[in-house]
Chains A and B, each alone.
Chain A
Amino acid sequence: MRRRDILALFAGALASRPLPATAQPGDRVRVIGVLIGLTEKDPENPLRIANFERGLRDLGWIDGRNLRIHYRFGADADRLQASARELLALQPAIIVASSSFVVFELLRLTQTIPIVFVTAADPIGDGFVSSLARPGRNVTGFTSNYESMGGKWLELLMEIAPNTDRVAVMFNPATATGSRAYFFPAFESAARSIAVTPVGMPVHNAAEIEPVLAAFGRAPGGGLIVTPDNFAAVHRGRIVAEAARQRVPAIYSLRYFATEGGLMSYGVDLLDLYRRAAANVDRILKGASPADIPVQVSAKVDLVINLKTANELGLAVPRIMLARANEVIE
């Protein structure tokens, strides 16, 4: 009798043994880091985190069970460096970077740990990847890179504010890196084709925002384009406020500008990208190399119009613009 029982147990165990398969989430707790180039208390953070974690959960990674996610923040280079060091000390398998600026700072510290950027305007130009199809090193991610976007932003701005005769592109030379060079040519040629003066507006630090904008806004007929830039994201409040004060219509590249008072934004859905970044994280955790994961171009660009701001600026939003808008904030 005893022998039979033992045998039955043994049999049961054998029968229910799972098949050897590829490493499943759940084998052991993996560690990843997320470095966001905003201040820790930025209200954007929870949304980003939520989307990211949702994306991971859909793929079977659950923070606290088979995954340990460490979030670090840094609004400027120094802070970012410190946070990056902290993250690296935790020996993560991957670090998710919120923008090209963060990638830059990370690449100063590591050339081996896989980095997934959620958005980068020009990863090729910035040297992160050798080509979109084959990144070739430890960095991959998502891009909304359309160098022709400059022309589109201009077109949209002109549509909402037809009286604009000069348009400036704000950027921080330190953080925007290749952005200026990237978007500017299309912008410039587009501007000239419609007899608008293109202006470059470098801003070096937060303190310069107000004076620069004030100087620009003194003369009427000015329009502003804020290209993708970590600096702008960090200080969006001030930029938006100053632009409003100066009564300068502005178009931004990310939604939260518009929601926080900017006139409009036309660009990628960042939160969606955070969700999609989870797929890359999943692939890398399962053994893929970032060198082989192509950089994905996001074609989903949304137009967000803040009608309130438009009204404050005394702008009438044309019908076609409303038709085009993906989101209208009132």
Chain B
Amino acid sequence: MKTPRAGTKPITPAQTRGGLFRKYIVFFVAVVFLALAANGPIDIWFSYQEQRASLVHSQREQAEAAAARIGQYVKEIENQMGWMTQLPWSASTLEEWRFDAVRLLRQVPAITELARIDAEGREQARMSRVAMDVVGTQSDFSHDPKFVQTMASKRYNGPVYFRRESEPYLTLAIAGARRDNGIVVAEVNLKFIWDLVSEIKVGKRGYAYVVDADSRLIAHPDISLVLRNIELLELAQVRAAQLSSNEVPPEEDQVGTDLQGQKVLTAHARVPSLGWLLFVELPVAEAYAPLYVSIMRSGVLIVAALVLAALAGIFLARRMVVPIRALRDGAARIGSGDLNQRLSIDTGDELQALGDQFNIMAAKLQDSYANLESKVDERTHQLEVANQAKSRFLAAASHDLRQPLHALGLFVAQLRGRIRAAERDRVVGRIEAAVAAMNELFNALLDISKLDAGVLIPNVTTFPAAQLLSRIETTFAESAREKGLSLRAVPACAWVRSDFILLERILLNLVSNALRYTTHGGIVVGCRKRGGQLRIEVWDTGSGIPQDQREKIFGEFYRLGEPDHDRRAGLGLGLAIVDRLCRLLNYPIALTSTVGKGSCFAVTVPIGDARGRSVDVPVPIRVPRDVSRGKLVVVIDNDPLVLDGMGGLFRSWGCGVVTADTDGAAITGIADCGHVPDLIISDYSLTNGKTGIDVIARLRDAFDTPIPAFLMSGDTNPEPLQEARASGFHLLHKPVDPMTLRAMVNRMLKNDAAARVRL
């Protein structure tokens, strides 16, 4: 099945109106019509042939019968006449002759005259029905054909002739067995044959007629035709019959023409001994009349059947098309959004099944829409919650930022005034502390952002847990002592397989939290082997966490109860970071706590495969040997304050600095200096949508050397982080503390130098 092309418009209801319906009906009617139309003419054709054959057959039979009768009739007369020539004329008396003649006349009413001619051809007696009998005329018939031929062939019949122009007569003559007997001649009135022919009836307008050996009409129901003494050789059937022998004529002779030129079905028979032909004919129009009636009937039948077929077609089509239309309309309604539509189709067949399936589908659609809606609602709700959280996050962040900023302003103001060196150092220290607090906040925000962006890729190594714990201890020893708390890391001999820095971070945050929320007592960090994994636990004797807040504390900016009012007030982000890190590393984190007694945070990490491994610990950043003195550094940033600050700082380190806000300005600045820069530092997001990556690339192109470069960014959005990672440049997040900055600069320059040396 062809799939619809994308973008084709669906066919409109107006276009389909009646389409299927009409198709069915037309098809139905056409089929019925073809069947009947094929059947009808074939039937009629065969029927025509059979009818014709049967008619001609019957006609032929009649002709044969009639011809036989005529022949018989004549033969009878001849037989009767034969008696009269049994003896020669002289042998019988006149009385005897007269008696015989009377008897013959009685027995054969058709004979009007009888004549007795002796062996010499002389007429001896003549007896007539309508005239006086004569005897002994002695007329000489010796040369008369009737005498001559009869003596020769024993019988003779003359041509048909007419008396008084209106009576047909035939001369028959019979000779005796012996030549001496002479002959007897009879004039036979053929009226009787006319009667016989007239009696032959074929259908309503069929008739018979007789022609003699010369094709002259001698008998016909219409006597006047006979009396006209016409010859019928013009008629094809007569010609054919004269020519043919006595066998059954071929099919083509079945149709002839009558005297009016109309076509007739014809059959003929020969009258024995006389050489006459008897034709029995039926006008073709009458012969075929039943056929025409039959055709008419067929036609009417076809029409009736077509009407019936149309009605049946309408009925069936309606049964089919109405449910289909219902389906179409239902689908249209569903398509326009009304999912409550249900169809009711009651045809009890496949269409009903289709309708039921349709309903099921609509119900399912409705359900899934409802589901979708509820899911959408849920998701929206979640988004709202997240949005709110974000807003709170921002609010809290901005709040937490204000404090140190405020302090910073105060301290800077203090520096402006007149103050002693010792006080100035103290204030500078305080400024550094405030900056550190702000740095911490931004670092924490960056961590969260990085974690959310999925940019952090754990660098899994195997290292001893003890190393990690000792570092933790070292980091917080001073703070703990200041607060009067004990901090102890339980010695462990297990090895851990994890990311050192990230795991350290987790523990740093946990211990930091513990310190912050414990007023007396102490913190213990230890490891315990549990089910093939290592459980690192941080115990504190703090105020504990109530049941209802155990989930919430892992949320951003969530600070539990009354924190320790310390200058290093918590941000509420520590556990949020821990939570994200644990999700990233897939470590389960567990919390047990008793309010008033203390809490225990436990992280379960995989045990690492142990010894033989060298400790692969990343060395924290140290201040390296200074390789930056005398190098030319290009700094590109769109913030003039930053440029100013960066420039001043680099100059204090002894570097040459070119500051610019665009790559074009940078190139100009570099050209003023006169040699290729050694390092490019660029802000990520610059004006006009350009990125630091583009700028670095341009500068590298301009000087045709792979100048070392790294990026700096104030962006905590995930995209720049990802793009920067993809570009391969290091990225430092503002605010960057000067030490970190210097370390990165030195590293870049060192690597470059090393690379150059290798070359």
A residues neighboring B (CB under 8 Å): 3-4, 7-8, 10-11, 14-15, 19, 21-22, 131-134, 145-146, 148-149, 151-152, 154-155, 186, 190, 193, 292-297, 299-301, 319-320, 323-324, 326
Q: Could you tell me the distance in whole angstroms from the C-beta of A192 to the nearest C-beta in chain B?
A: 12
Selected from A133, A134, A296, A324, the residue in CB contact (under 8 A) with B106 is A324
Alpha-carbon distance A20/B747, docked complex (angstroms): 128
Q: Could you tell me the distance in whole angstroms from the C-beta of B466 to the nearest C-beta in chain A?
A: 106
Contact B293 A15 (CB under 8 A): yes
Residues from chain A with a CB closer than 8 A to the CB of B106 are: 323-324, 326
- B26-34, B295-303, B661-669, B732-740: which lies at the interface: B295-303
Contact B166 A297 (CB under 8 A): yes
Q: Could you tell me the distance in whole angstroms from the C-beta of A42 to the nearest C-beta in chain B?
A: 28
Q: Is B112 an interface residue (CB 8 A)?
A: yes
| Known interface pairs A14-B300, A155-B133; A132-B102 also in contact (CB < 8 Å) | no
Nearest 9 pairs of A and B residues by beta carbon: A151-B132, A148-B131, A132-B166, A146-B130, A11-B300, A133-B227, A133-B165, A155-B132, A299-B189
Given known contacts A14-B297, A133-B228, A134-B227, what 18 new A-B pairs fall within 8 Å (CB)?
A: A4-B304, A10-B300, A11-B303, A15-B297, A19-B286, A19-B289, A132-B164, A133-B165, A133-B166, A148-B132, A149-B131, A186-B131, A190-B132, A293-B223, A293-B224, A296-B191, A324-B105, A324-B106
Interface string of B98-133 (1 = CB under 8 A from A): 110011011001101000000000000000111111
Contact B204 A21 (CB under 8 A): yes
Contact residues of B: prevailing secondary structure? helix
Residues from chain B with a CB closer than 8 A to the CB of A296 are: 166, 191, 223
Q: Could you tell me the distance in whole angstroms from the C-beta of B127 to the nearest C-beta in chain A?
A: 10
Alpha-carbon distance A294/B311, docked complex (angstroms): 64
Alpha-carbon distance A48/B109, docked complex (angstroms): 23
Residues from chain A with a CB closer than 8 A to the CB of B189 are: 299
Contact A295 B166 (CB under 8 A): yes
Q: Is B361 an interface residue (CB 8 A)?
A: no
Residues from chain A with a CB closer than 8 A to the CB of B99 are: 319-320, 323
Contact A294 B102 (CB under 8 A): no
Q: Could you tell me the distance in whole angstroms from the C-beta of A280 to the nearest C-beta in chain B?
A: 10
Alpha-carbon distance A8/B305, docked complex (angstroms): 10
User: Which among B132, B224, B303 has the highest number of chain A CB atoms within 10 Å?
Assistant: B132
Q: Is B167 an interface residue (CB 8 A)?
A: yes
Residues from chain A with a CB closer than 8 A to the CB of B103 are: 323
Contact B300 A4 (CB under 8 A): no
Chain B residue nearest to A1 in the complex (CB): B311
B residues neighboring A (CB under 8 Å): 95, 98-99, 102-103, 105-106, 109-110, 112, 128-133, 162-167, 189, 191, 204-205, 223-224, 227-228, 286, 289, 292-293, 296-297, 300-301, 303-304, 307-308, 311
User: Which among A8, A152, A294 has the highest number of chain B CB atoms within 10 Å?
Assistant: A294
Q: Could you tell me the distance in whole angstroms from the C-beta of B199 to the nearest C-beta in chain A?
A: 11
Q: Could you tell me the distance in whole angstroms from the C-beta of B311 to the nearest C-beta in chain A?
A: 7
| Known interface pairs A4-B304, A132-B166, A133-B227; A146-B296 also in contact (CB < 8 Å) | no
Contact A131 B130 (CB under 8 A): no
Q: Could you tell me the distance in whole angstroms from the C-beta of B99 to the nearest C-beta in chain A?
A: 6
Alpha-carbon distance A299/B296, docked complex (angstroms): 50
Q: Could you tell me the distance in whole angstroms from the C-beta of B264 to the nearest C-beta in chain A?
A: 16
Q: Could you tell me the distance in whole angstroms from the C-beta of A321 to the nearest C-beta in chain B?
A: 9
Alpha-carbon distance A7/B109, docked complex (angstroms): 61
Q: Could you tell me the distance in whole angstroms from the C-beta of A295 to the nearest C-beta in chain B?
A: 6
Contact A4 B204 (CB under 8 A): no
Selected from B224, B307, B308, the residue in CB contact (under 8 A) with A292 is B224
Residues from chain B with a CB closer than 8 A to the CB of A10 are: 300
Chain B residue nearest to A13 in the complex (CB): B300
Chain B residue nearest to A298 in the complex (CB): B191
Residues from chain B with a CB closer than 8 A to the CB of A294 are: 166, 223-224, 227
Residues from chain B with a CB closer than 8 A to the CB of A148 are: 128, 130-132
Selected from A4, A145, A146, A320, the residue in CB contact (under 8 A) with B131 is A146
Alpha-carbon distance A151/B128, docked complex (angstroms): 10
Q: Could you tell me the distance in whole angstroms from the C-beta of A145 to the nearest C-beta in chain B?
A: 8
User: Which among B292, B304, B307 has the highest number of chain A CB atoms within 10 Å?
Assistant: B304
Q: Could you tell me the distance in whole angstroms from the C-beta of B43 to the nearest C-beta in chain A?
A: 15
Chain B residue nearest to A10 in the complex (CB): B300
Alpha-carbon distance A297/B164, docked complex (angstroms): 9
Q: Could you tell me the distance in whole angstroms from the C-beta of B27 to the nearest C-beta in chain A?
A: 21
Residues from chain A with a CB closer than 8 A to the CB of B289 are: 19
Residues from chain B with a CB closer than 8 A to the CB of A7 are: 300, 303-304, 307
Q: Could you tell me the distance in whole angstroms from the C-beta of A191 to the nearest C-beta in chain B?
A: 10
Residues from chain A with a CB closer than 8 A to the CB of B296 are: 14-15
Q: Could you tell me the distance in whole angstroms from the C-beta of A290 to the nearest C-beta in chain B?
A: 11
Chain B residue nearest to A3 in the complex (CB): B307
Residues from chain A with a CB closer than 8 A to the CB of B293 are: 15, 19
| Known interface pairs A4-B304, A14-B300; A132-B131 also in contact (CB < 8 Å) | no
Contact B204 A15 (CB under 8 A): no
User: Which among B130, B293, B297, B301 has the highest number of chain A CB atoms within 10 Å?
Assistant: B130
Residues from chain B with a CB closer than 8 A to the CB of A145 are: 164
Residues from chain A with a CB closer than 8 A to the CB of B301 are: 11
| Known interface pairs A15-B297, A133-B224, A292-B224; A22-B166 also in contact (CB < 8 Å) | no
Chain A residue nearest to B301 in the complex (CB): A11
Chain A residue nearest to B223 in the complex (CB): A294
Contact A299 B223 (CB under 8 A): no
Residues from chain A with a CB closer than 8 A to the CB of B228 are: 133
Residues from chain B with a CB closer than 8 A to the CB of A186 are: 131-132
Contact A4 B132 (CB under 8 A): no
Alpha-carbon distance A294/B164, docked complex (angstroms): 11
